[in-house]
Chains A and B, each alone.
Chain A
């Protein structure tokens, strides 16, 4: 056992932190919330120069050939600055789907473009009547023999408004699920950003008789349920890592503040109440990090990780609520001010929890695995 990062991993983490601190501090996130695109193309390009979009893409497709832990460390650093933008949807969701499910042709065509930062992707799973997971998908893909036709409405499609392809999950043809790559400029596609809690650009997307070229099918048509479950677990874990970064930053800022803010002639950190808050945060942040790293390590090694992922997501989501609430408590009224950045962390932590299965959803899955059915 060795729970420390390797030298290379340490390097990825520290350089990612440094880059983001400089290029995408929370003040930039603040600017991006009012930007209709919701992110900075300049930062996106610079990330590509560092190879981030291609972090998990095999070298033969111009990627960095890294594993999930490498991506995890970047996501953690992004969490530390609450960086919104298309990285998660393009890399953690889109690129992963293409690496795992794409044909050789699709990989050759798309992966190098993703690596270069030329392609923005999003994943469309959730629907207005749906809860988490893949049950009750009503968007349909029909095969008329001649054409493939997509119809339906999706919710929470992050970055649909700027995507080059929306990877859309649909029912059919027949009983199973399919994944199709939709060009948002195709006739019948509409999308618009929703007003959401953490200012990321979650969109509504509707598909009305959209014609899908057969070359745009990912994986085996009508047989994608299992693969998609894997993809959603992977996404849930990626969100855990982002959460860990959010919590780490909120925690560090709170400890710093507790050391410097004076009331009653002494640093507030000298009050036992505040010391206990900080101590509780340590246990939550480190606990969330270890359980998420463990699951990430299993994914990177190709070991079964479903159980670990669900436990990580449930635990991390609960810890996130406690840690961010305590950060606000320690900061007092200043934390209730829009001008102060802390609420970006509070918002982001909540949005991460709600994405790809919240605490209850993953606790239920964990209970199922304990044989409690």
Chain B
């Protein structure tokens, strides 16, 4: 047991930090609006933000920061998962625009379970940041219960013909490929009849319709497939095994918790408290405020430890499963705690949304209070995470 970074990890962290600071626009912190754990502000507010994010990503790719733990032959640095975790921690701490679903989820999943052809086709492009994917899991009647999806893919020669509808597809409008689960065997067992296909957004028959979220942001979409022809080569792994791959992909997804953003959020709130007086007294002397922040500080610490544990497991060659559910549960509840505390501490001023009208903390608190709702729902609800911990983890009966 060793609760500190190695020399090598420290050096990596310092180098990374220097890179992030030099590569981000100087005013990025004032513009960043994403809430730790939230899925609602993934898309940028302005064209300028979008362009800056693109520039930052390109710099990351060029300087080899993008896929730290991937093998060198696939465009990575061949470093440890702990270093990869440090990377996600630091980039999320600086609220750097680094969240790329394809590098975080599809890349590692394909490396784990994909065929050689899959790896050749997708991994290098993902590593270069050229391939951005959206997750096509949920359907109107299949949310928590993904085995009940109705989208079908019928094999015709060397193509699949895809029909159906997806919903809540985050960033589908801003990606070029969908990572779609579809039923490939209409008569098969619920869990052994589903496959994963990569679908080019530009294929005829794909229609993407925006959904506006409660923050007023276009972050997710409905996607319709009408006789969409997908090359059979785009099948990931083996046919009908998709549900099992999906579990792996979800475990990776639940590791992407923007851990550093929690620490940043706490610091932001502490700064506000330090700079604010209420009734002629510093807010930091208010016992309620002090305890609230102290409680959150402890929770942030615990969340970090859950986080480092998953990296430890990966470096031991295991895929965190129950552990990533626990991490997700801890962090998403923390997202809510932090949002609640921010609103409480800002009191009546928490209702102001617009920084130009005097909203404290750039209006982050009310946005966060809205965004934190998504945290305990997206990537599997808290109830489902608890079910996983209880059944998969503790062996409690599921019926």
Tally inter-chain residue pairs, CB-CB below 8 A: 116
CA distance A136 to B281 in the complex (A): 13
Contact partner of A336 among B40, B288, B357, B369, CB < 8 A?
B40
Contacts A197-B350, A328-B377 given; does A321 touch B357 at CB 8 Å: no
**Contacting pair A156 B348 (CB below 8 A):** yes
**Contacting pair A263 B344 (CB below 8 A):** no
Contacts A126-B348, A131-B347, A350-B369 given; does A262 touch B288 at CB 8 Å: no
Stretch binding the partner chain, chosen from B9-17, B90-98, B211-219, B234-242: B211-219
Stretch binding the partner chain, chosen from A4-12, A35-43, A84-92, A352-360: A352-360
**Contacting pair A337 B143 (CB below 8 A):** no
Interface centre among A155, A265, A325, A336 (most CB of B within 10 A): A336
Chain A proximity mask over B373-387: 1 for CB below 8 Å, otherwise 0: 110111001110011
**Contacting pair A271 B214 (CB below 8 A):** no
Task: Assess whether B168 is interfacial by the CB under 8 Å rule.
Answer: yes
Q: Return the chain A residue nearest B142 by Cβ.
A: A263
**Contacting pair B352 A263 (CB below 8 A):** no
Expressed in whole angstroms, the minimum distance between the Cβ of A192 and any Cβ of chain B is 9
**Contacting pair B214 A197 (CB below 8 A):** no
Task: Assess whether B336 is interfacial by the CB under 8 Å rule.
Answer: yes
CA distance A155 to B358 in the complex (A): 11
CA distance A358 to B378 in the complex (A): 30
Expressed in whole angstroms, the minimum distance between the Cβ of B249 and any Cβ of chain A is 18
Contacts A126-B348, A354-B351 given; does A336 touch B214 at CB 8 Å: yes
**Contacting pair B348 A355 (CB below 8 A):** yes
**Contacting pair B351 A343 (CB below 8 A):** no
- Interface secondary structure of B, over-half rule: mixed
Contacts A194-B357, A264-B145 given; does A337 touch B214 at CB 8 Å: yes
Expressed in whole angstroms, the minimum distance between the Cβ of B349 and any Cβ of chain A is 9
Task: Assess whether B317 is interfacial by the CB under 8 Å rule.
Answer: no
Task: Assess whether B109 is interfacial by the CB under 8 Å rule.
Answer: no
Residues of B within 8 Å of A, CB-based: how many?
45
Contacts A273-B383, A321-B340, A333-B138 given; does A338 touch B214 at CB 8 Å: yes
**Contacting pair B214 A196 (CB below 8 A):** no
- Which residues A109-154 have CB closer than 8 A to chain B? 126, 128, 131-132, 135-136
CA distance A84 to B20 in the complex (A): 45
**Contacting pair B353 A196 (CB below 8 A):** yes
- Which residues B161-219 have CB closer than 8 A to chain A? 167-168, 211-214, 216
Chain B proximity mask over A249-277: 1 for CB below 8 Å, otherwise 0: 00000000000001111000001011000
Chain A proximity mask over B339-375: 1 for CB below 8 Å, otherwise 0: 0100110011011111001100000001001100110
Could you list some 30 contacts between A and B, CB below 8 A? A132-B348, A194-B357, A195-B352, A195-B353, A196-B351, A196-B353, A197-B351, A197-B352, A197-B353, A197-B369, A263-B143, A264-B148, A265-B148, A273-B387, A325-B373, A332-B381, A333-B167, A336-B378, A337-B211, A337-B214, A338-B211, A338-B212, A338-B213, A338-B214, A343-B214, A343-B373, A350-B351, A351-B351, A354-B350, A361-B347
